[in-house]
Amino acid sequence: MWKFARPIRHKIEETRWPSAAEAARSRLFSPIQIGRLEARSRTWVPAMVPWRATEDGFVTQQNLDWYRRFAEGRPGVLVVEATGVRDIPSGPLLRIGDDRFIPGLRKLVDAVKEASRGETLLFIQIIDFLAVKRRPERAKYLQRFLSVTDAHREALAAVTGLTSWRKADDARVRSFLETAEDALLESVLSPRELEALNFGYRERVTDTHLDHIARLPQELPGIFAAAAERARAAGFDGVELHYAHAYTMAGFLSRQNNREDDYGGSHENRVRLPLEVFRSVRERVGSDYVVGVRFLADEVIEGGSRVEDAIYYGQEFARAGFDFLSLSKGGKFEDAQQPKVGQAVYPYTGQSGYECMPTVLSDETGPFGRSVPLVAAIKRAVN
């Protein structure tokens, strides 16, 4: 995990519960309107992923117990973990990509409503993600996954000074690279190939040479809308569209999105698909259903979006009619630490991951309230 060069250990203050009179005077415990609904307080449990679903994405007793414990505290709002909108393998992550998931999700809704005595609004965060492969063994990558091209042969000829590489067959190139020193390998492989070797293959929204990536703008609005409709059928009070961190919709919003169609490059193009997804969801679930969004106040990566981008997106989301905006920070793949062979890269291990989930080992600022200035700037602009 990423750490500051000279971290300072900050103390966690002892918990002190407010008196009834203090709570009555506090904004935190005052009601707030969210779309057509009213939350009894502004206490909010954001989406977390406890990895308690089955490998097929179904709700388990562990899921029910996890959310029941939060609901017993009767927060104003409780947001269920990132839940996959596609019916594809995703490990022990909840799914909502097919009607067969509705009964289990309905049990979860009933458990929360019972435990909170009906006082907690329950939203579900819905997410799309692209393929991320485990880091391969070097020999396996070079022998099975690397597509040998003339560019590799030319690079080998230039590095070694041997023109015979220009006519070498694939097997000879692979065998040579398998035992080559790292410096030579770095001279021959492209940056994306080196990433696939050292971190595992990872798709991006900019990989428009892949048909399924090129078609995302045409397919995702309907996929998200169907998932939101299932959420309503299961009894959730609303949905939170996941446009944050290292996942598909965040990729479209990122300043690194240089797609050459109408969905990359400028601010207007980068926000186009997120708005189209929202409009499709709104049309499907109706104007009386809560639809919010989770997005980044700062990507915290080189060449990534900053608060100025988030201000623009927040204003556009507000104009479009989102019922709430939920801000996060960082949590990106681009600065994640290298995984071990056989493991997948995890987007919360670099500096952007720290800023997403800070610990008491921090800098002078400390772990608490690190995003407050960003959120305040966005809120001022949106208001």
Report d(CA 214, CA 216) in Å as an integer: 6
Helix (H) or strand (E) holding 127: strand 121-127
- Which of 70, 88, 68, 83 lies closest to 125, judged by CA? 83
For residue 91, the model assigns a pLDDT of 87
CA atoms within 13 A on the CB side of 220: 29
Specify whether the CB–CB gap between 289 and 321 falls below 8 A: no
**Mean pLDDT, range 265-279, rounded to an integer:** 98
Share of the chain above pLDDT 90, in %: 97
**Mean pLDDT, range 256-262, rounded to an integer:** 96
pLDDT tens sequence across 39-57: 999 999 999 999 999 999 9
Helix (H) or strand (E) holding 362: strand 361-362
Residue 181 to residues 185, 194, 200: CA-CA distances in angstroms?
A: 6, 13, 19
Specify whether the CB–CB gap between 130 and 251 falls below 8 A: yes
Report d(CA 350, CA 199) in Å as an integer: 13
- Encoding tokens for residue 298? 């700062």
For residue 66, the model assigns a pLDDT of 97
Tell me how far apart the terminal alpha carbons of the chain are, to the nearest angstrom. Answer: 37
pLDDT tens sequence across 191-226: 999 999 999 999 999 999 999 999 999 999 999 999
pLDDT tens sequence across 107-120: 999 999 999 999 99
Residue 58 to residues 99, 121, 247, 335: CA-CA distances in angstroms?
A: 11, 22, 21, 32
- Encoding tokens for residue 92? 């022990």
Q: Is the pLDDT of residue 89 over 90?
A: no
Q: Tokens 């880091």 correspond to what residue?
A: 135
Helices 61-71 and 102-115 pack at an angle, to 10 degrees, of 30
Report d(CA 57, CA 105) in Å as an integer: 11
Q: Is the Cα torsion angle 205, 91, 244, 359 positive or negative in sign?
A: negative
Report d(CA 201, CA 190) in Å as an integer: 13
- Encoding tokens for residue 266? 């400028």
Q: Is the pLDDT of residue 90 over 90?
A: no
- Which of 226, 216, 196 lies closest to 259, judged by CA? 216
Kindly report the number of other CB atoms within 10 A of residue 22's CB atom: 11
Report d(CA 226, CA 102) in Å as an integer: 12
Average pLDDT score over the chain: 96
User: What pTM was computed for the model?
Assistant: 0.94
pLDDT tens sequence across 17-41: 899 999 999 999 999 999 999 999 9
Report d(CA 258, CA 269) in Å as an integer: 10
